[in-house]
């Protein structure tokens, strides 16, 4: 495939050419005598028609790709009223930022769990010639490559994990990786990726409730583990306090009773009602 890149096209200020064309038309009308007035319209019409085929206008952040009978002759990126090669085709290519959101894609993550994922892609054209000639339709090309890259990326990471990088736990890293993959694929079309962000990430509906229960169970287990570890540390401090400063020596049975009572108080998820033995 022949790769085309931007090059500057021939342009002149359009107002200058417009004044010259008007002057030429007036000159043609004055050269011929009044009796030959119809004949004077022929050269005047030819000059005016040629001039009109070369005029074009551009707004900021726009480009026009110029082709002359099938041959690429250059790209215009200067805004304003301009004159370029007559009888040429001038295709408009926006250079503005475009915000594209993918569909909610249903894919399988690294562990085979069905998930839904979507992303926002911010991109723009930097090479109008590549966008026009290297791909069939650069907007469709961006959309298709974005879907493909997002599907492939989601398949390489688990949805959630405590031991490795995951889609939910490393969302910024995933977005950066998506940007790098897309930039490599879209550079052939003269497109630069400005930003990528995941806009939607969730388990599919058929397993959402099961995964929610799994997350709740894992969170409860971690909370219990944290409570027990800290409760044991506090119990060690209590026993050490009484033995060193309170001159109290606990037997093994008393230590077991104390540990049991403190664990019940500190790890129970309900309000405890301790019973104090005050004697008779």
pLDDT, one tens digit per residue, over 32-68 is 655 555 666 677 778 778 888 889 999 999 999 999 9
User: Is residue 1 one of the residues assigned to a domain?
Assistant: no
Tokens read off for 11: 């342009």
Residue 251: alpha-carbon gap to chain centroid: 66
SS3 156: coil
The answer on 115 and 33 residing in a single domain is no
Pick the last residue of a domain from 39, 60, 93.
93
The answer on 231 and 135 residing in a single domain is no
- Per the structure, how many domains does the chain have? 3
User: Is residue 273 one of the residues assigned to a domain?
Assistant: no
- pLDDT number for residue 24: 80
The whole domain housing 111 covers 98-203
SS3 content of the chain, % helix, strand, coil (to 5): 50, 20, 30
The answer on 192 and 116 residing in a single domain is yes
Residue 68's φ and ψ, nearest 5 degrees, are -120, 105
The answer on 212 and 166 residing in a single domain is no
User: Is residue 2 one of the residues assigned to a domain?
Assistant: no
Transcribe 84-138 into DSSP letters: --TT-EEEEEE-S-EEEE---EEEE-TTS-EEEEEEEEEEEES-HHHHHHTSS-H
- Identify any residues that bridge with 201 across adjacent strands, giving them in sequence order: 117
Q: Which sign, positive or negative, has the C-alpha torsion 181, 182, 183, 186?
A: positive
The answer on 112 and 61 residing in a single domain is no
- Identify any residues that bridge with 116 across adjacent strands, giving them in sequence order: 106, 202
235's CB contacts (< 8 A; 6+ apart) are 258, 259, 262, 263
The answer on 77 and 171 residing in a single domain is no
Asked if residues 62 and 38 have their Cβ atoms less than 8 Å apart, the reply is: no
The answer on 113 and 53 residing in a single domain is no
Regions of the chain where pLDDT drops below 70: 29, 31-41, 205-221, 243, 245-251, 254-255, 258, 261-280
Tokens read off for 237: 């401090």
User: pTM surpassing 0.75?
Assistant: no
In what helix (H) or strand (E) does residue 43 lie, and over which residues does it extend?
A: helix 37-54
The answer on 198 and 130 residing in a single domain is yes
- pLDDT number for residue 109: 87
User: Is residue 44 one of the residues assigned to a domain?
Assistant: yes
User: Is residue 5 one of the residues assigned to a domain?
Assistant: no
The answer on 161 and 68 residing in a single domain is no
Tokens read off for 45: 């019409």
Pick the last residue of a domain from 180, 203, 226.
203
Q: How many CA atoms lie within 13 A of 84 on its CB side?
A: 27
The answer on 196 and 111 residing in a single domain is yes
Residue 115: alpha-carbon gap to chain centroid: 19
- pLDDT number for residue 39: 64
Q: Tell me whether residue 129 is exposed, middle or buried, using C-beta atoms within 10 angstroms of its C-beta: 0 to 12, 13 to 18, 19 or more.
A: buried
């Amino acid at each position: 495939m022949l790769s085309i890149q931007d090059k500057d096209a021939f342009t002149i200020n359009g107002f200058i050419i417009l004044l010259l064309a008007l002057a030429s038309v007036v000159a043609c009308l004055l050269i011929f005598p009044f009796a030959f007035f119809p004949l004077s319209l022929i050269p005047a019409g030819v000059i005016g028609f040629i001039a009109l085929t070369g005029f074009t206008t551009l707004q900021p952040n726009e480009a026009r790709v110029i082709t002359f009978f099938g041959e690429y002759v250059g790209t215009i990126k200067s805004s304003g009223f301009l004159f370029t090669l007559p009888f040429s085709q001038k295709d408009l290519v926006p250079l503005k930022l475009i915000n594209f959101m993918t569909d909610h894609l249903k894919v399988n993550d690294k562990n085979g769990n069905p998930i839904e994922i979507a992303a926002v892609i911010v991109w723009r054209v930097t090479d109008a010639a590549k966008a026009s000639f290297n791909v069939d339709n650069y907007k469709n090309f961006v959309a298709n490559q974005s879907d493909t890259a997002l599907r492939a990326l989601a398949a390489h990471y688990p949805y959630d994990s405590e031991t490795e990088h995951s889609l939910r736990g490393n969302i910024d890293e995933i977005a950066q990786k998506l940007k790098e993959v897309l930039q490599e694929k879209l550079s052939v079309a003269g497109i630069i990726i400005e930003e990528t962000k995941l806009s939607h990430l969730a388990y599919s509906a058929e397993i959402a409730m099961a995964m929610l229960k799994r997350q709740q169970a894992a969170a409860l287990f971690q909370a219990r583990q944290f409570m027990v570890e800290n409760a044991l540390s506090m119990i060690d401090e209590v026993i050490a306090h009484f033995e060193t400063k309170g001159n109290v020596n606990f037997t093994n049975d008393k230590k077991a009773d104390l540990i049991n009572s403190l664990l019940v108080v500190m790890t129970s998820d309900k309000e405890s009602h301790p019973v104090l033995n005050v004697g008779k």
